[in-house]
Amino acid sequence: MTSVIDPKTIGKPVRQRRHIRTLTGYTPETDASGKEKWPRGDETVWKTNMRGVDADVGDITKSVVNHVQTSLARQAYNLDNLGAYQAAALSVRDNMLVNWNETQLHYTRKAPKRAYYLSLEFLMGRTLDNALLNLDLKSQYKDGINQLGFSLEDLLEEERDAALGNGGLGRLAACYLDSSASQDLPVWGYGLRYKYGIFQQLISPEGNQLEAPDPWLDNQNPWELPRIDVNYEVRFYGQSERLSEGHGRALWTGGQEVLAVAYDVMIPGCNTRNTNNLRLWESKPKRGFDLNSFNAGNYEGAVESSNSAAAITSVLYPNDHTTFGKELRLKQQYFWTAASLADIIRRFKNLGKSINEFPDYVAIQLNDTHPTLAIPELMRILIDEEDLDWNFAWQIVTNVFFFTNHTVLPEALEKWPVPLMEHILPRHMQIIYDIKAVSNTNTFAARIFLQAVEKKFPGDRERLARMSLIEEGFPKQVRMANLACIGSRRINGVAELHSKLVQTTILKDFVEFFGVSKFGNVTNGITPRRWLDQCNPELSKLISSTLKIDKSVWLKDLYKLKDLVKYAADKGFRAEWAAIKQRNKERLAHHIETTLGFTVNTNAMFDVQIKRLHEYKRQTLNILGVIHRYLELKALTPALRKKVNPKVVFFAGKAAPAFFKTIRLIVNVARVINADPETKDYLSLYFLPDYSVSLAEVLIPASDISQHISTAGTEASGTSNMKFCLNGGLLVGTVDGANIEIAEEVGEENVFFFGHLTPAVEDLRYQHMYHPVPVDEACPPLANVLNQISGGLFGDGGVYEPLVNTIRQGDYYLVTDDFDSYIRALAMVDEAYLDRDEWVKKSICTTANMGKFSSDRAIMDYAQEYWNLEPIPVGKD
């Protein structure tokens, strides 16, 4: 069944009229003779029905059944939950499609400046529930699905999360797409359509992380629109021959050519008809099957080209510790940026504008360093294909790109070996060497870059070495962060502290060279549509009824939650708030029991840390704190244990190989303490495998406290801290990232801070390196915990020695220095939790003051202060 109807065909074939009647429920008027009168010029009525504004339950059931029979080729009486989900999703997609087409047509007519968000990850989560809420169709579909004999809740569970991301970087990108559509901003996302994504996480009986492919595309994905006609050729390897002296044109030939084929994912806005787009690229061979090789008996050679091309978009973050993995990851980044730029330029050229107007119509946001190859790629297009002068091309490039930095860790700044770049992207390596020599220095006249640096800072050879695009060594490395700084119009961090640290540490040289005006801050945000309304519907309903405003209003102006503060003194409101939290705990406990078989004490405090595993995020500190609590409980008499707050601790997150031992320790500590008859009623621990957006949606509303305990000065921002606080969970954390701004908004009395501050970190690391003090002297409680681990309390102690030694020898992330303070903070949590009435007040005040952390605010900061973008609402000319 065709989902998109061309209004020009209305009134012509009878078959098309039947299709419209089935799809929309539109019933035409009849004349005196009974003949149907179908509209030809004005299609407002049936288009309104297609948008779902006037859709009733009967329309919905007809639409779903129609998709069962035509799209799925099944019978309604022989349908399982998966089939019903797919049919319902296709029906919802019909509603989105009309808005999507209208939005694209509106943007084409208005020809506004557009922004393009390039991110290697888009952690979208499940789509059906989010789409129904944004379209305001959930209640109608729930009734319609019930009439068909299914439960909407069951169908929602059939959808598997799209495996397009790993952690905060990808979830931030997803929130920004949601907010862009909801704020009527003309913003598209560009990413890769990974076949398997990151990986499906399994935990072995011994506690080891096992990685399996994530087959999220095994079933039909109803949310994507294949655009087989939208494809671009992307070249790798070959030779690049300069056609003129200096920095002029070159001819790049030979090598491997791969097709980038587009798949579109619609992004509906909330309470608006604007529906934006996420375009994902899949890699396919230009010439597929080699019949000559096959006929010659070379069966492997016959499919070699096909397999090589398909591998580019097989998995997210291939292991780059091998030569093959490193090469594949670089090819991924270029493939994605090259296809995206080709698409952006094609769309710009359709406007009929001169190429020198490109920055007036296009802004491209680089989400971290992964898309930085777009800078030399745009230079290649402008010089080699558009035949522009180098200076003019560079002027365009440096007014189009914007760069978001996501780290203050020097080791996390991306670099690529020069020999690898020369092998895979010979033309781009030429351009990078040219950029190294020539760059814009706040004037439109190109100057010798390093000479300009030396002129401003005479004799400072170390500065020259630090600012160079090429890091000397064996092999030489291309510094992608430096390239992003030189080639972007503006650079931003993602929290106030992070942005200041970026400007005073890893990018200090560039700040001093270009000036501070090129550097700014946009504190991260989260979409309240998914992270309150969707994941915590009861709380959303309570907020709307209490404030006496429709949720569509406060969901797009989160500052309106501030009025909840006055209700914190209302005993009845506090009781409702607490009851919702309790039911969210029971929902999580039910999920764990049905998926893992564990029974969770829902009368306990729920303490949650959910993040990808890394040393700086300090899951190690958390599990060591759990062990310390267990040892203290064991030392208490039974009478004293009864006075202790029962606590359930939850971990979730995926790990790179370097952090497998942390997961193993968590799982084996859980195995011991959950089975201990003396303590299991007062402390239990669970590691929930295969962390995802949909799992977070169950965990976050259930939390009483959440832990954000990175070493001060190492977490750029964090967004999970915002999600927990928006749902009334209190924050335990260090004075780091966005924790600081959250405390400023919700009040430090509602946050449990601990640990050394950022200015002290480097001095403490220096002491660990040159004047080490044994852990036994520096922190006896921690030394006792480490000794228990080494002694075999949680299994073979030798297995954990590499992990334990990171603390005993060096302790770069200051676990020893912060441990006592951390334990005191948790004791303060226990004390505060004893007064449940005051605790609920803290919870209410925390949610009420989270207005700043909406991604709507963040995306408007980008639009106004960086991209110079204006809202273009559909239907409001």
The whole-angstrom separation of Cα 600 and Cα 598 is 6
pLDDT digits (tens, 9 = 90+) for 224-254: 999 999 999 999 999 999 987 777 899 999 9
CATH number at residue 450: 3.40.50.2000
19, 380, 406, 628: which is the annotated catalytic residue?
406
Are 328 and 371 contained in the same domain?
yes
**611 tagged catalytic:** yes
Are 503 and 610 contained in the same domain?
no
Q: Name the average pLDDT for the chain.
A: 89
Q: Alpha carbon 99 to chain centroid distance? A: 25
Are 576 and 503 contained in the same domain?
no
Strand bridging mode 256-268 / 275-285: antiparallel
Instruction: Report yes or no: 280 and 263 within 8 Å, Cβ to Cβ.
Output: yes
Inform me whether the pLDDT recorded for 40 exceeds 50. Answer: no
Are 669 and 574 contained in the same domain?
yes
Torsion on CA atoms 152, 153, 158, 160, rounded to nearest 10:
120
Higher pLDDT, 321 or 410: 410
Are 231 and 304 contained in the same domain?
yes
**612 tagged catalytic:** yes
**551 tagged catalytic:** no
611, 618, 808, 852: which is the annotated catalytic residue?
611
The whole-angstrom separation of Cα 414 and Cα 485 is 13
Inform me whether the pLDDT recorded for 434 exceeds 90. Answer: no
Are 119 and 156 contained in the same domain?
no
Are 771 and 689 contained in the same domain?
yes
Question: DSSP string spanning 489-537?
Answer: SEEEESSHHHHHHHHHTTTHHHHHHH-GGGEEE----B-HIIIIIIT-H
Instruction: Report yes or no: 789 and 665 within 8 Å, Cβ to Cβ.
Output: yes
- Which of the four pLDDT bands, split at 50, 70 and 90, describes residue 75? confident
In a domain, 399, yes or no: yes
Neighbours of 31 (CB within 10 A): 8
Instruction: Report yes or no: 86 and 125 within 8 Å, Cβ to Cβ.
Output: no
| pTM reported for the whole predicted model | 0.91
- Which of the four pLDDT bands, split at 50, 70 and 90, describes residue 309? confident
In a domain, 544, yes or no: no
Helices and strands: H and E segment counts in the chain = 38, 26
Are 155 and 176 contained in the same domain?
no
612, 629, 647, 654: which is the annotated catalytic residue?
612
In a domain, 333, yes or no: yes
**406 tagged catalytic:** yes
Are 237 and 98 contained in the same domain?
no
**614 tagged catalytic:** no
Q: Residue 56 has what pLDDT?
A: 84
Domain ranges, residue 12: 1-110+126-160
In a domain, 529, yes or no: no
Residues of the chain with pLDDT > 70: what percent? 90
529, 723, 768, 841: which is the annotated catalytic residue?
723
In a domain, 30, yes or no: yes
518, 617, 647, 661: which is the annotated catalytic residue?
617
Q: Residue 52 has what pLDDT?
A: 38
The whole-angstrom separation of Cα 54 and Cα 190 is 33
In a domain, 171, yes or no: yes
CA distances from 367 to 296, 315, 333, 626 (A): 47, 19, 12, 36
337, 719, 734, 847: which is the annotated catalytic residue?
719
Structural domain total, the chain: 3
Are 137 and 181 contained in the same domain?
no
Are 648 and 698 contained in the same domain?
yes
Strands (E), 237-270: 239-242, 250-253, 256-268
In a domain, 543, yes or no: no
Are 252 and 106 contained in the same domain?
no
In a domain, 105, yes or no: yes
Q: What is the mean pLDDT of residues 746-756?
A: 96
CB burial of 823-847 (b: ≥16 within 10 Å; e: otherwise) equals bebbeebeebbeeeeebbbbbbbbb
